[in-house]
Each structure stands twice: as C-alpha cells, then as structure tokens.
Structure 1
C-alpha cells in the first residue's frame, strides 16, 4: 500500500481544484457535507499552502474534488493519502442520496428526471419518474434517459396501485421485474418512481426496497421544491389550460396532504381546470388542527377574488393566534371592507383539540361537517349539531358548536356542489354512501375517490365548485391496517362518533 506525502498531496489537490471550476465556498460546502470540520477560511489556507490538515481532512477535501471531477468526466483525479480501495468515497444508499442532493443543487426543474436517474445508478438501478396529473386519474411520465413511456391510469395500473396504497409494489414485467415506489413530499403523493435493476441487483431484497422508499421520499421533496421555482414539471401534470381564476385559487391552496403524529388531513377541489370560487385551508400543530373551507359560488365573475380575500383574512387571523370567533370576525370584516355589503362567502371553520378530540366548529352558510366512524366494522356517517349563520360578509356572528371525536374518526368538510352533484337524469350524488364506502382508505385516497366518484356521477358537469377537506384524528396511536385488509397501507380504523 503506497502512501502519498502530505505536501505532495496538497499540491496536487490544489492543482486539481483549479480545474473544478468551483469557488472555495462551493468546495467547502461539498467537503462539509461529507463530514469535514475545518472552516472555509482554513480550507482556503490549506489550498494556498499556508496551513496543513490532518490526513482524514485532506482525504475529505480530495473526495469533494474528485466528485466534481467525476461530473466533468475525464479530468485527472486528486490523490488520497493512501492509494488503496479503503477510501472515504461513499457507496450504495449514501452515494445515491448524496448524488441526488448534489445533482439537484442549481438544477433547472426539467433536469430533475436526469438527476434522479443518475443518482439511482449508484444503487445499480434504472429509475423513471411519473407525476400524478391534476385530475388525479393518470401518472404522467417525465422525459428521461428512456423515451416511449405512456401515461398510466391510477385506477387500473400497477403504478396506480402503488400510488393508491402509498406503498412499494414489485411486479413482473416482460422486460424484467419492476419496483414501483411512491414519490412523496412529506405525506403528499406526487407520483411514483419506476425502478428497474441492473445486473446483479435483486429487487426482491427487502433492504433494497427500503432504500428505494428513502430515495423516493427525498426525490419527492426535490420535485416539490423545483415546482416552486419553475413551470416545466407543473406543465407536465396539466391535462389542459387553466384560466386565470383557477390559477389564482390553485396557487393559494396548501399542500393537498399533510400529517402529524395525531392527525392526517387531505383536501381536493373540482373542476380542476375551471375552478371559480372554492378554496380550503388547514394548519397543524402539536396540539391543534385548524380547518376551513370557503365557497363564493361560480356565478359572480369576481368570485375568485372574493373567496381569496376570505382565505387571506382567515389565515392572517389564525396566524395571529385568533380563535374561531376572531377568525370569523376577520373574514366578515375583510369582505365587507373590500367588496361592500353585497359580498357573501359560505364556509365552515373548525378546530380539533388533538389531545382529547374536542371539535369546535362554526358554519356561515356552509354545510354542516360530517363525521365518519364505524359500528360493527361497517363505516357509518353522521352529522354533528350545528347552528348555521348567514354567509361571511353578511349577518351577525354565529354560534360555535362542540362535539367529541373518537380516535379514528374521519371529519369531513365539503361544499354544497359536492353533496348536490346530480346526474343528467337528476339523480343526486350519494356523498354519505360514498364516504362510507371509502372511509377505510388513507385520507388522501378517500378524498381522491370521493371526488372522482362525484365527477363521474355528474360527468364532470358540476353546478358549482366541489371542495372536500377530510381529517382523520388518531390520538397519537400508530396507524394500523383495518380488519381483513390485504393492502399494505397504514390505516387507522374509524369508530362511531360521539357528541360532546
């Protein structure tokens, strides 16, 4: 085993650094990510020959430089202190995750599929990215190293099964085994990864499947982040053009899914590309879940601005620490100030004490919340006591009602257009029956299935905007599978609701 003298190593490192095109700050960030512990100033002094570093620190600098030279391909590599296989170069999962993070820095959004595929090669995997479209009907492939992939239906494809159940799924395909892993941004489903194995890699390995889940979660975060500063990925998810009002309302929505230890929340709106006057919001803390849904109708051309004002006033009051009464007053005041006495927004405000399940709610022309529980293993819905007031912006304050949830209960806020959706022959959509049928799924899948069922029932011809916001409270318990479940989703079985 041959050793390289420290000063000779430093000299070659400095020469190789000059070919990387990196600044000292950029090199230090890469070095620090590997576990280096000298400062940027000390690193600069080392490169200038004014300071010596311990061997392990020199090798970390070497590795940071060599990673960059690998990116440039063909450039001469800097030497480690011991020219042997026992280097600090990361391999396997760590190399894949570091490659994903490093490759995504300063990458244009449309380059992310290439970055993800390149990082996957550290695990000897071939990876393709699919994103869910805004209709939540198809998984759309992003351009990548392999062309020719087609959109996959969420309801009937293997990829869709993994997406629906938030799980990894191993399938046997004509071209070889495929692993489908859900692309997650926190708890929000962005799409799926299609994973193929290189020679000598076994997709049946449980450890590899776990590594793919980690990889998919990190990739999901990066995809969501990239969509905030570029349009390329968002455009791939669109089935058709959105008008300006729908664009405004979608940009004001929170993530469609979020969760803490005690609660999971999921929302959705329809029609996805022609939204006019519905929005929702939520906020989660360690102690409380705040929920709200607003409906300004579709007939008024200014409905989008009116409902956005209601949303902004609600958020502002909530973030100032106001309770339901303060939030109600803030929305009333904002609407009357901005639009005069004629502005009216129907809506529901709610908050859940996550320690005990106490629900407080207020309806201002909005629909009374539903609670889905179980009795004898059959899902059953019920309404809670209510005392509705006139819509926000008109009328006096309403009465705040209370009830008590039980662990596993599904709380449902919705707009009138959802419960009143009708088929061409006038038959009304069975919202309660549909909720009961799908309440055993995770909240985002319950939400998706109910909205898809309503859209199919009325053939997409909603008379108003349909909004649905669901929250499952499970009181800090670990989520478990419901009885007789054959999927691997994590689901909290609901119970019969109780009133306070």
Structure 2
C-alpha cells in the first residue's frame, strides 16, 4: 500500500533548515514515485497561493496561483486533493494545514492518481503543515513569502497578536477574517479552547493605525492574562476598563465582546462593551440578533456607568448553531454618497452562504469579499468577522 512512513517523516524533520521544506517533502515523495514538489503558502488576504522558494527544487520557477480561479485554489478552498493529467503523469494539489488552519497547498507530480497515492499526498500536506508550524517560531521566511506587499507597522503588530484564523474540533469550529489584511490597524480577536469551554473575544479600538494597534495589544494582553487566571467574564470586563483608563487618556476607547461557551450544554454567556450585536444562525438562516445590555466602551466606562453595571447575557445554543461576531467596519462600509453595507445585507448573505453548507472559513471569505466589493476594495475602516459554530456535545 502506498503510504508515508511516519518514522521516516519525523526523522526527516529533525534539524532541517526552514528553507528546505520542499526538499524534505520531495525526499519522502520520491520514495512513492513523486516529483516536482512545490509548497505554496496562502497570502495574508487569502487571495493568492505563493510558492515557497527552495534551493533544491524547481519551486523558484513556480508562479503565484489565484485562490478563486485555479486548480491549486480549488484544493485550498475545498480542502481535498485535486488532479490534472500531464504528459509526465498526474499533477496533484493537496491542502496544507497547520492544525485546522488552512496554510497552503502542496503540488506534486505522481505516476498515477490512485486512492492510495492521493491519500499519501494529503498525508504529506499535513506533514508540511506540521513543519511550517514548528519552524515558523524561529524564522521569518514563511511570513515574508505570504506577503504580496509590505505590511504596515500596525498590521504587523496585529497579525503577531492573533491566534490561528481557524480552529476545528468535533464539538466546535471557529473561523475569522480581517481586512484590509495588509493595513489592518486595530480590530483584533482572541480565543482559547480549554477542555469543555471555548473563550473568545473581539476588540475594535477607536481610530486606525499605530495608536489603535497599541490599544488592541493592551486589550488582548489583559484578556489573556485574566482568562488564564480563571477570572469570570464580569471580572475580565471590569479589568479591561481599568487597564484602559489607567494607560490611556479618555480619548482612547475600545468596543468589544467577551464570550464563553460551554461545549457540553451549548450555553453561551457574553458581555458587551458598546459593540454591534452578534447574529444567531440556525438552520442555515440568521434568526435573530443576540441582545446584551451594553456597558460603554472600555476606556470611558468610569465616566458613563457605575461600577458593577456589567450585564452577562445568556443564550442556549442548539447543535449546528452558528454565531457571527463582527466589527462596525463591516456594516458601515460604503463608498462616498452610497448606502452602507448594513446589517440586513450582511444577514442575507450569511443565510445564503450558510445554506450552501460551506465551511465557516469559506462563509467568511465570501462575506468579506462582498464587503470589499461594496466599497470598491478600499475600506475606510477595519472589517473583522468571527464565526463560531457549536456542533453539539457528542460531536467529538
């Protein structure tokens, strides 16, 4: 049977140069008759697949591949191997993942596209994702090759703050997207999955640029600290207000939401600091906005609300439910003199793409594309979407 030997793969990964991923994959693939290996990484905006140069393969000759219109892009979107006949065999494109996060695509030419061979290509895609995840801690190489152009300083700070854009387990899936990818300067989110609890937060600091990125860094840092200390949502909410009031003037503030979902019961609790209300998706449709009496944004709360006024809202989720969180840059997007994108349009598109049984990350990719098109690809504010889907307690 054609298969990748796990022991050989792990031994090949020991002490490799970060630039030699294609070389290592080619060495393993050649044992199965594979040739012409190219590792592609998706760019920050998830519009193109960028070939990772390698000194020992022809990857330096490869071109960028468009996600929306190419075979390589189809493998990335569908997360399955895609093939094309060639004179020297069959070209296979297999997805590369770091855990649940879509990283790119592995391209390789094989003699025949048997089920066993396609399975081996997918295994090597997973292996390449493992190599990228472990090596990325000590190199800038992958970050640089994901860039179609330079990141602004605030955007670089933001991306360094973020967790993976996609997390999937049997019980829960979370996906996020941020635009403009190369200039984002404020919007941020964070999450952590700890046993049967998913904690998640979304932040939208005032303004845009370096000042907003600094506010986001403080908010994420405070949130992570308190979450790891085991604090309640009310405590985390209050501590964010204190941190903002202590470190910034009353001209600086941040809206956001703190969310906790019990993955056994589906009970979602959350607080709201002056942020747009999330949407509940059930049966492929947006059925309602989830209400939560807001406090003022963090940073101005002491001026406008008494201490201890934080409301913790509760919603009982059903298996298969999704909750969409977003920043105001999504619904307020518009061209000069034109109407805003709006919550009604957002809800309609969410229902349209949810009913097509798309994965959460693909739903968001379509949504953010619509937001960008509505504003002629020139956003005046950051636009962030986070979609959480609870699959039920037994979906392990």
CA contact (8 A) 1:277 1:296 kept: yes
SS at match of 2:185: coil
Among 127, 132, 146, the residue aligned to 1:223: 132
Matched, 1:467 2:376: no
| Per-residue deviation, residues 345-379 of structure 1 (Å, max 9, x unmatched) | 110111111112111111101111111122xxx53
Counterpart of 1:487? none
The 1:120–1:463 alpha-carbon spacing in structure 2 relative to 1, beyond 3 Å, is same
Structure 2 Cα separation of the partners of residues 460 and 365 of structure 1: 27
* Partner residue, 2:49: 139
Bigger shift: 182-191 or 98-107? 98-107
CA separation in 1, counterparts of 2:194 and 2:151?
33
Contact kept? 1:367, 1:415, Cα under 8 Å = yes
Cα 1:299/1:196, change in 2 over 3 Å: closer
8 Å Cα contact 1:268-1:447 kept in structure 2: yes
> 151, 168, 173: which is aligned to 1:242?
151
Give the C-alpha shift of residue 390 in structure 1.
0.5
Is residue 455 of structure 1 aligned with residue 372 of structure 2?
yes
Equivalent residues of 1:381, 1:432 under 8 A apart:
no
Give the CA deviation at 1:176: 3.7
Q: 1:285 aligns with which of 194, 202, 211?
A: 194
CA-to-aligned-CA distance 1:37-59 (integer Å, 9 cap, x gap): xxxxxxxxxxxxxxxxxxxxxxx
Q: Secondary structure at the match of 2:370?
A: helix
Return the offset for 1:428. 2.3
Bigger mean CA offset, 233-242 vs 100-109: 100-109
Pick one of 303, 314, 326 that aligns with 1:414: 326
Q: Does 1:331 align with 2:240?
A: yes
Tell me, yes or no, if structure 1 residue 427 matches structure 2 residue 339: yes
Which of 115, 134, 139 pairs up with 2:24?
115
Q: Which sections of structure 2, spanning at least 5 residues, go unmatched?
A: none
| 1:478, distance to aligned residue in structure 2 (A) | 5.0
Deviates more, 1:104-113 or 1:321-330: 104-113
Name the count of aligned residue pairs.
381
- Aligned counterpart for 1:186 among listed residues 69, 92, 99: 99
Q: In the TM superposition, what is the alpha-carbon distance from 1:476 to its structure 2 partner?
A: 4.2
* Within-5 A mapping of 1:13-32: none
- Secondary structure at the counterpart of residue 124 of structure 2: helix
Q: Structure 2 matches for 1:338-487, cutoff 5 A?
A: 338-374=247-283, 379-395=285-301, 396=305, 397-429=309-341, 430-439=345-354, 440-476=357-393, 478=395
Counterpart in the other structure of 1:306: 215
In 1: Cα distance, 2:251 partner to 2:340 partner: 30
Change over 3 Å in CA distance of 1:432–1:196 after alignment to 2: same
| Structure of greater Rg | 1
Cα distance, 1:94–1:163 mapped onto 2, change above 3 Å? closer
Partner of 1:331, secondary structure, is: helix
Q: Distance in 2 between matches of 1:316 and 1:453?
A: 36
Distance in 1 of aligned mates of 2:144 and 2:136: 10
Cα deviation per residue 1:196-223 (whole Å; 9 max; x = unaligned)?
11xxx421x2222222222211210111
Report what 2:184 is aligned to. 275
Give the distance between the partners of 1:254 and 1:314, measured in 2 at CA: 13
CA apart distance, 1:175: 5.3
| 1:213 pairs with 2:122 | yes
Which of 1 and 2 has higher RCO (CA within 8 Å, sep 6+)? 2
- The structure-2 alpha-carbon separation of the partners of 1:477 and 1:434, relative to structure 1 and needing over 3 Å to count, comes to farther
Match of 1:50 in 2: none
